[in-house]
């Protein structure tokens, strides 16, 4: 059995050298294949080149790049040499890059392009300030060598030399590595064979929404635990194609790529842009697609946008068939025991209740499939098997929509600190409203605020223990001790419940809980998800900590709202002025009250009493994390004036 990621890849590549490992676009935008055997040769050449410039076992190497073919080559080469990479995406700020490279004491960094080099030079030369007080020495004291995927301008190289940095091109690394590989083609395999399961593979820094980022140390064993059981669990086989759109530096997409390699499947690189994504799906015809909830929401919104533009009978029929599909799916899930059980429930009664509605709805569902659903499914590719959603909670409305269309979405759950997968719905028995059962070799318990273990059906904090749990936070034993107990239990900070069969239902974040002045505890995420079910609301943030009532920041769906205004002959000069119109505020107020009320299962104190409309959507790197999750502390700072007005007496 392989002890490291490179050892695992070498075994697979030697078994199936001619199978496609990667599909990446060339300069003309055409997908070009790279076989497992060719990729192994490229990784081996890269390892020679990196070793030649001084990369050694135990080194930490910065890695600032977005998804591309070369990312995996450099990653496997570094890991095979026994180094650990410290990755980040190109959307990272200069201050973030300075912090993670300096805190990790990186002597070498691989950068995508000269824009990333400029960020380093801006800090190193003092052109922009560096704000962190955590570093005991100035940024980039250890940094000596920069390797660039894309060629920089000559002036940039001169600036780097003036800043005492050696600049190399990745193409130079590969060119110089080739003759070394020809002399010793087994060098990479020999170096990789020295690796141990407990060796550090990477340090992934969290978003730092509550202060300086924390470096999560993940071992080869943490990742290998995922690769050893997940392919078989969801049914991935050699030759299957995964469409990759998420940032590869993040633990979710990174683990997915390792899982793909273990299965002998293929990675096709695309982008999370609707037009590009759907076009690429038609070209590569993937079996699998991994994404965050926001992208699934975008696909759903795109379908509804097309239907709205069609109008007339098409719009009416679509709404009817979706409603029928959702009802049919509900009764089908009841028949197949796919509804979550938080307390014992009679299977006989479930079958008796569901059988007649299921039979009556089946012909209508079949008609909807022929007229509507089949055409939508074909946009994902004729061989599409399932999507996997992670990195945040999948809104119930989105989950129900794809289930109604007959598109299987397997929701998963995990944290960066668990490399990251803890659970995922079973392909053979997907229980809706849950993220599936915890998996092999991992323990779970739900505890109350006093640490008492709770039974199924009771809400508490999720704690886990298993082979995928991190080594700790880099150089922060104090923070590690706060989240990881001496006997290995990790406090996830997530609130959840267990079904009687062991599936997990996520209900919120412990640290996101809002406590009103009256002592009422409120989970904002379910309210926000319900608000976003309105066709006129794109994003929402619920507020109210230590206040008398709840309020919300609302980002309307601009296109839907503008169309509504035109249809209702509401005059406006521009979009910002439209949001000030009393008719618009009345519309949004009505949508909020229709979404969040006692009839929909919300308590009276969970009602939204006031709201503010924002013209600009929340963006990753600003209000949203890389996983598209709301950065609540950042929002409190950015919109403090609007928030203050919402709670003014």
pLDDT mean over 200-225: 86
pLDDT mean over 146-151: 97
Residue 411: pLDDT band with limits 50, 70, 90: very high
Residues 34 and 165 in one domain: yes
Does residue 430 fall inside a structural domain? no
pLDDT mean over 569-577: 90
Residues 471 and 490 in one domain: yes
Number of Cβ within 10 Å of residue 590's Cβ equals 12
Residues 40 and 125 in one domain: yes
Contact between 169 and 148 under an 8 Å Cβ cutoff? The reply is yes
CA distance 486 to 476: 15
Pull the structure tokens for residue 82: 């026994």
Look at the chain and count its residues.
Answer: 649
- The answer on pLDDT for 208 being more than 80 is no
φ and ψ of 287, to 5 deg = -90, -25
Residues 501 and 570 in one domain: no
Residues 522 and 495 in one domain: no
Q: Is 362 left (phi over 0), alpha (psi -120 to 50) or beta?
A: alpha
Write the pLDDT tens digit of every residue in 63-87.
999 999 999 999 999 999 999 999 9
CA distance 215 to 132: 15
What CATH number is associated with residue 79? 3.40.50.12780
Residue 389: pLDDT band with limits 50, 70, 90: very high
Residues 506 and 517 in one domain: no
H or E element at residue 59 = none
Residue 342: pLDDT band with limits 50, 70, 90: very high
Residue 211: pLDDT band with limits 50, 70, 90: low
Residues 183 and 313 in one domain: no
Residues 6+ apart with CB under 8 A from 226: 255, 258, 259, 419, 421, 468
Residues 144 and 31 in one domain: yes
Does residue 327 fall inside a structural domain? yes
CA distance 218 to 203: 6
Nearest to 551 by CA among 527, 580, 534, 518: 527
First to last CA, the chain: 66
Residues 6+ apart with CB under 8 A from 274: 298, 299, 302
Does residue 283 fall inside a structural domain? no
Residues 6+ apart with CB under 8 A from 522: 513, 514, 515, 516, 542, 544, 550, 605, 606
Contact between 235 and 425 under an 8 Å Cβ cutoff? The reply is no
| Percent of the chain predicted with pLDDT > 70 | 98
3-state helix, strand, coil in the chain (%, to 5): 45, 20, 35
Nearest to 82 by CA among 220, 252, 260, 205: 220
Q: Please name the residue that has the structure tokens 């929509």.
A: 401
Give residue 137's pLDDT.
86
CA distance 521 to 71: 44
- The answer on pLDDT for 404 being more than 80 is yes
Domain end marker among 166, 195, 224 = 195
Residues 26 and 171 in one domain: yes
CA distance 233 to 383: 19
Does residue 608 fall inside a structural domain? yes
CA distance 538 to 341: 31
Residues 89 and 101 in one domain: yes
Pull the structure tokens for residue 614: 């924002």
Give residue 2's pLDDT.
95
Does residue 413 fall inside a structural domain? no
What CATH number is associated with residue 504? 2.30.38.10
Distances (CA, A) of 158 to 97, 98, 155, 166, 585: 21, 20, 5, 10, 56
Burial of residue 492, with CB atoms counted within 10 A of its CB: 0-12 exposed, 13-18 middle, 19 or more buried: buried
Burial of residue 601, with CB atoms counted within 10 A of its CB: 0-12 exposed, 13-18 middle, 19 or more buried: exposed
Residues 131 and 191 in one domain: yes
Output the average pLDDT for the chain: 93
Residues 324 and 388 in one domain: yes
Instruction: Please write down the long-range contacts of 274-283, taking CB distance under 8 Å and 24 or more positions apart.
Output: 274/298, 274/299, 274/302, 277/243, 277/245, 278/302, 278/379, 280/31, 280/243, 281/243, 281/379, 281/380, 281/381, 281/384, 282/379, 282/381, 283/31
CA distance 381 to 279: 10
- The answer on pLDDT for 138 being more than 90 is no
Helix axes 69-80, 36-52, angle to 10 degrees: 60
215 three-class SS: strand
Domain end marker among 465, 488, 511 = 511
Does residue 431 fall inside a structural domain? no
Does residue 284 fall inside a structural domain? no
Does residue 417 fall inside a structural domain? no
Domain that holds residue 86: 5-195
Q: How many domains does the chain have?
A: 4
**Strand order through the sheet with 31-35:** 31-35, 20-25, 266-269, 241-244, 288-291, 386-389, 409-414, 421-424
Write the pLDDT tens digit of every residue in 275-289.
899 899 999 999 999
Nearest to 88 by CA among 631, 628, 621, 633: 621
Domain end marker among 463, 478, 511 = 511
Q: Is 410 left (phi over 0), alpha (psi -120 to 50) or beta?
A: beta
Give residue 508's pLDDT.
78
Contact between 547 and 649 under an 8 Å Cβ cutoff? The reply is no
188 three-class SS: helix
Q: What is the DSSP letter of 104?
A: T
- The answer on pLDDT for 209 being more than 50 is no
What CATH number is associated with residue 620? 3.30.300.30
505 three-class SS: strand
H or E element at residue 94 = helix 94-103
Residue 509: pLDDT band with limits 50, 70, 90: confident
């Amino acid at each position: 059995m392989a002890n490291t990621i490179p050892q695992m890849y070498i075994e697979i590549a030697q078994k199936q050298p001619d199978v496609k490992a990667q599909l990446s676009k060339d300069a003309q935008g055409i997908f070009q294949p790279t076989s497992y055997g060719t990729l192994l040769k490229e990784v081996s050449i890269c390892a020679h080149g990196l070793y030649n410039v001084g990369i050694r076992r135990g080194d930490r190497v910065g890695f600032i790049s977005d998804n591309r073919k070369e990312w995996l080559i450099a990653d496997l080469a570094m890991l095979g040499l026994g180094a650990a990479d410290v990755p980040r995406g190109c959307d990272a700020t200069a201050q973030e890059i300075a912090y993670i490279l300096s805190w990790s004491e990186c002597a070498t960094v691989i950068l995508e392009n000269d824009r990333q080099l400029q960020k380093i030079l801006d800090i190193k030369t003092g052109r922009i300030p560096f704000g962190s007080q955590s570093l005991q020495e100035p940024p980039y004291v250890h940094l000596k060598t920069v390797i660039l995927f894309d060629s920089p301008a000559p002036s940039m190289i001169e600036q780097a030399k003036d800043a005492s940095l050696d600049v190399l091109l990745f193409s130079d690394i590969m060119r110089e590595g080739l003759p070394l590989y020809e002399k010793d083609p087994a060098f990479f395999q020999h170096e990789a064979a020295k690796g141990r399961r407990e060796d550090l593979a990477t340090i992934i820094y969290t978003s730092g929404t509550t202060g300086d980022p924390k470096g999560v140390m993940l071992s080869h064993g943490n990742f290998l635990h995922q690769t050893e059981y997940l392919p078989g669990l969801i049914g991935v086989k050699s030759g299957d194609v995964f469409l990759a759109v998420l940032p590869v530096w993040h633990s979710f997409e990174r683990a997915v790529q390792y899982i793909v390699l273990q299965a002998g499947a293929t990675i096709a690189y695309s982008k999370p842009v609707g037009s590009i994504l759907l076009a690429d799906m038609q070209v590569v015809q993937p079996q699998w697609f991994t994404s965050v909830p926001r992208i699934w929401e975008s696909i759903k919104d795109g379908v509804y946008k097309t239907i709205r533009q069609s109008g007339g009978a098409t719009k009416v029929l679509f709404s009817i068939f979706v409603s029928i599909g959702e009802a049919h799916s509900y009764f089908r899930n009841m028949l197949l025991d796919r509804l979550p059980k938080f307390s014992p429930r009679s299977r006989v009664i479930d079958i008796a209740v569901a059988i007649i509605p299921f039979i009556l709805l089946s012909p209508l569902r079949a008609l909807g499939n022929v007229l509507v659903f089949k055409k939508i499914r074909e946009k994902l590719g004729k061989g599409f098997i399932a999507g996997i959603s992670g990195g945040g909670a999948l809104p119930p409305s989105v989950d129900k929509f794809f289930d109604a269309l007959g598109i299987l979405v397997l929701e998963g759950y995990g944290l960066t600190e668990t490399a990251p997968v803890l659970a995922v719905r079973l392909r053979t028995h997907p229980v809706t409203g849950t993220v599936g059962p915890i998996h092999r070799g991992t323990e779970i318990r739900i505890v109350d605020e006093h640490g008492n273990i709770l039974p199924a059906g009771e809400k508490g904090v999720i704690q886990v223990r298993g082979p995928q749990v991190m080594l700790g936070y880099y150089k922060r034993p104090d923070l590690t001790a706060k989240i990881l107990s001496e006997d290995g239990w990790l406090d996830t900070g997530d609130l959840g419940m267990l079904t009687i069969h062991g599936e997990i239902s996520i209900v919120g974040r412990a640290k996101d809980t809002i406590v009103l002045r009256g002592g009422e505890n409120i989970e904002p995420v379910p309210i926000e998800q319900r608000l976003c079910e309105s066709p006129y609301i794109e994003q929402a943030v619920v507020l109210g900590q230590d206040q008398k009532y709840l309020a919300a920041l609302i980002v309307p769906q601009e296109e839907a709202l503008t169309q509504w205004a035109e249809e209702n002959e509401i005059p406006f000069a521009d979009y910002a002025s439209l949001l000030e119109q009393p008719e618009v505020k009345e519309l949004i107020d009505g949508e909020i009250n229709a979404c969040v009320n006692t009839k929909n299962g919300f308590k009276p104190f969970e009602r939204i009493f006031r709201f503010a409309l924002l013209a600009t959507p929340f963006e990753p790197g600003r209000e949203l994390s890389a996983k598209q999750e709301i950065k609540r502390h950042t929002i409190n700072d950015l919109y403090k004036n609007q928030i203050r007005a919402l709670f003014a007496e």
